Amino acid sequence: MANIPWVRTRAALCAASAFAVVSAANASLPQRTFVATTGSDSAPSCSIAAPCRSFATALAKTADGGEIVVLDSGGYGPVTIGQSVAIVAPAGVYAGVSVPPAADGVVINGLGVKVILHGLAVNGQGGNNGINFVQGARLSVENAAVTNMAANGILHAASGGDLVVTDSLLRDNAQHGLLAFAAGKTVVARTRAEKNGWSGIAIAYGARAAISDATIVHNGQSGIVAAADGGLTTTLDVERTLLGDNAFDGINLNSQTAASVLSVTVRRSTVVRNGLNGITVGSNSATTLATIADSVITDNLVDGVRSTGPGARAHVTANTLSWNGIAGLHQIDAGVMVTRNNNGIEWNGTGVPAVGTIDLVDPY
């Protein structure tokens, strides 16, 4: 497995945003404002009768905890959010954010803020991250499309902040569709991550993530990458998710440094036709614990499930592992593979792995 360039990604985050953080509006401002392609940023209050033209101007005229409503289809520009707010594009309305070079599309950077982004289409025109969650209590991204960014579609770096992404598309971003590396929660549901240059979704540095009912396909490296580093514990739960046709692994799990722990469950998922292994459970001087159950892991180029490196432990139960290039289960380099003798393992390649062509009974 090629090393994932976490350090480079984190360094890119440190570049200051080109936009000033918008301070919380005072109580005299309206709770609801409007934007439209026919609007003007000189409108005094961004009312429905006299809407503003851009998100940034409307935000400055919206009370803390209020909402900005998009009236018609068009582009409304990048915005940096430092207050609680909802930006809402109703069904059938295209609310675009074009992101120029050296900028991010939507930046959330306010202590304790709660932000909802509903129905936005964030498109990179040389820009870095589509949505950058720098600081805040909670960010909800709903029915969004984040595409063509030079770095990540969504970047979650808000320590202690919760990110929820539902019913969205993350496509054609040069690095990750979504990268979460803060000690906060990330929930991804009913979302498609495809054709991103690195991974569809990446989790690291003490993040806690849950992915369900997602489609993660055709990415340039692995579908999902999860890493534990810096002595932190990273957790990941994957359920009812399709991971297919990714260039490296369907799921790549790797704990990186001493005292770091990566704890993962994969359940009721399909992992198919990936360029290396279906699921790699790896460890480098740390601990990776993976429970893989009730899943179909088939037609991957090398192994169905590979446990590799001291500290790697895969508990594999009630899965179907077939048509993988070398082995359904492959235990190498001091990795541990534990099963209950209840996996269906058949029609895998003729290569003979060190261990793992048949179930191994739990020795504990």
Q: Are 108 and 138 contacting, i.e. CB atoms less than 8 angstroms apart? A: no
Range scoring the smallest mean pLDDT among 194-198, 350-354, 356-360:
356-360
pLDDT of residue 257: 86
Position 255 pLDDT exceeds 70: yes
More confident residue, 16 or 134: 134
Which uninterrupted H or E stretch holds 109?
strand 106-109
Position 12 pLDDT exceeds 50: no
Torsion angle of the four alpha carbons 287, 291, 296, 302, in this order, in degrees rounded to the nearest 10: 20
Sheet holding 192-194, edge to edge: 74-75, 95-99, 120-124, 145-147, 169-171, 192-194, 215-217, 242-244, 270-272, 296-298, 320-322, 344-346
Position 81 pLDDT exceeds 70: yes
Torsion angle of the four alpha carbons 66, 141, 127, 193, in this order, in degrees rounded to the nearest 10: -170
One DSSP character per residue, 192-228 reads EEES-SS-SEEE-TT-EEEEES-EEES-SS-SEEEEE
Range scoring the smallest mean pLDDT among 211-225, 307-321, 346-360:
346-360
The 10 Å Cβ neighbour count of residue 99 is: 25
Position 110 pLDDT exceeds 70: yes
Position 149 pLDDT exceeds 90: yes
Using one digit for the tens of pLDDT, what is the confidence trace for 18-33? 333 333 335 699 999 9
Question: Please, which pLDDT band fits residue 237 given cuts at 50, 70 and 90?
Answer: very high
CATH class of the 193-364 domain in this structure: mainly beta
C-alpha distances out from residue 232 to 33, 132, 208, 216, 335, Å? 42, 23, 11, 26, 21
Read off the pLDDT of each residue in 192-206 and give the average, rounded to a whole number: 97
Q: Are 180 and 204 contacting, i.e. CB atoms less than 8 angstroms apart? A: yes
| pTM summary value | 0.90
Using one digit for the tens of pLDDT, what is the confidence trace for 329-352? 999 999 999 988 899 998 998 554
Q: Break the chain into its structural domains and give their ranges.
A: 193-364
Above pLDDT 70, what percent of the chain?
Answer: 88
Read off the pLDDT of each residue in 236-247 and give the average, rounded to a whole number: 98
Using one digit for the tens of pLDDT, what is the confidence trace for 155-186? 999 999 999 999 999 999 999 999 999 889 99
29: exposed, middle or buried (C-beta count within 10 Å: 0-12, 13-18, 19+)?
A: middle
pLDDT of residue 27: 61
pLDDT of residue 341: 82
For the chain, what is the mean pLDDT? 90
Residues 6+ apart with CB under 8 A from 299: 272, 273, 322, 323, 324
Read off the pLDDT of each residue in 51-75 and give the average, rounded to a whole number: 98
Distance CA 107, CA 81 (A): 6
Position 258 pLDDT exceeds 90: no
Above pLDDT 90, what percent of the chain?
Answer: 83
pLDDT of residue 177: 98
In our burial notation (b when 16+ CB lie closer than 10 A, e otherwise), range 292-301 reads bbebbbbbbb
pLDDT of residue 350: 59
